[in-house]
């Protein structure tokens, strides 16, 4: 069975489904659950002019990180009966999928759970979804969870 499970979350409904599924699998297998969120500052780069003229970039980055912490805190509160550890990761000019895959590898995770469709808009159409990219590059098994 699984020993270390990483579930990657954002604020989408499919992400909440993935969290529920990962917690259930961890509970059934006695695995440790890592709940990860990636603070993705690359989204700011897509709108650099807007941010650089209307906001202080440091404050914008802090807001992204703070929102990630709040998301993780809320997620951890929902999980019972499982050893859980929240992880706030930062993309640092890398793909979110690479950031997740590297952290899962570092932690020795044997399963990664992620929602199939998050909120990515035009970037999904051009680059592919984070879930699809992760399934291609991860060393661990990847469970793609749809909304249910």
Report the alpha-carbon angle 52-55-57, nearest 5: 65
User: Predicted confidence band at 93 (pLDDT cuts at 50, 70, 90)?
Assistant: confident
Sequence-ordered list of residues with C-beta below 8 angstroms from that of 120, at least 6 positions apart, any chain: 129, 130
pTM of the model: 0.85
CB 145 within 8 A of CB 114: yes
What is the per-residue pLDDT for 23? 98
How would you classify the pairing of strands 32-39 and 84-90?
parallel
Greater confidence (28 vs 60) lies with 28
pLDDT at 130 over 50: yes
pLDDT of residue 3: 98
Q: What is the pLDDT of residue 124?
A: 55
- DSSP, collapsed to helix, strand or coil, labels residue 22 as helix
The Cα 119–Cα 140 span in angstroms is 24
Q: What is the mean pLDDT of residues 96-101?
A: 96
- Closest to 70 measured CA to CA, from 85, 58, 86, 59: 86
Q: Which residues contact 115 (CB under 8 A, 6 or more apart)?
A: 9, 10, 12, 13, 14, 15, 16, 17, 18, 131, 144, 145, 146, 147
pLDDT in tens, 81-92: 999 999 999 988
Residue 9 has pLDDT above 60, yes or no: yes
Residue 5 has pLDDT above 80, yes or no: yes
Question: Residue 21 pLDDT more than 70?
Answer: yes
């Amino acid at each position: 069975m699984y020993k270390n499970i990483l579930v990657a979350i954002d604020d989408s409904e499919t992400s909440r489904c993935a969290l529920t599924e990962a917690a259930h699998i961890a509970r059934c297998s006695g695995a440790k659950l890592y709940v990860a969120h990636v603070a993705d500052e690359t989204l700011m780069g897509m709108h650099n002019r807007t941010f650089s003229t209307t906001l202080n970039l440091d404050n914008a980055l802090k807001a992204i990180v703070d929102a990630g912490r709040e998301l993780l805190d809320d997620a951890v509160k929902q999980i019972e009966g499982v050893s859980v550890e929240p992880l706030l990761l930062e993309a640092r000019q890398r793909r979110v999928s690479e950031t997740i895959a590297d952290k899962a590898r570092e932690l020795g995770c044997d399963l990664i759970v992620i929602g199939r469709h998050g909120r990515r808009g035009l970037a999904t159409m051009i680059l592919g979804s984070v879930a699809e990219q992760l399934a291609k590059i991860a060393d661990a098994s990847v469970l793609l969870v749809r909304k249910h």
